[in-house]
Amino acid sequence: MIGLDLVKDEETLVAAYDDAEGVTAAFNLNLLARINRELGGDFDLDAFAHKAVWNARESRIEMHLESLRAQTVHVAGRAFRFAAGETLHTENSYKFRLDAFARLAAGAGWRLERQWISEAPAFAVVILRA
């Protein structure tokens, strides 16, 4: 049994990963805070902004942290330069179409036996059998 987030329109996906409350942004920026704490980094969290991007070709929503200005940060004794607008690609969340997922599963020796699909926003639970 596997749960799948299904492909939706771009506006819905970006809104889900760039929520108005800023929960996802805080989660994403926490990566820089952890680098600072655990690897001796000196990221200025206010100098980066969370950005959610739908990549239709790869069928995934991407999380990025965008540098708001040209800057140099240090991590573990190394310097890293960022141009204004340059991003750190921090996460991928893949979205599926059932037919494409069935082909992916078949390539690994599984077949889709049953499926249940929710109302919008569409999510599926499928049962695979070897």
The contacts found for 100-107 with CB under 8 angstroms, 24 or more apart, are 100/59, 101/4, 101/126
Give the start-to-end residue ranges of the domains of the chain: 2-129
pTM of the model: 0.87
**Total length of the chain:** 130
Number of Cβ within a 10 Å radius of residue 42: 12
Amino acid at 104: L
Our CA angle for 27, 30, 31, nearest 5°, is 110
Per-residue pLDDT tens listing for the chain (130 residues): 999 999 999 999 999 999 999 999 999 999 999 999 999 999 999 999 999 999 999 999 999 999 999 999 999 999 999 999 999 999 999 999 999 999 999 999 999 999 999 988 789 999 999 9
Q: Note whether 58 and 66 are within 8 A (CB).
A: no
Which secondary-structure segment (H or E) carries 56? none
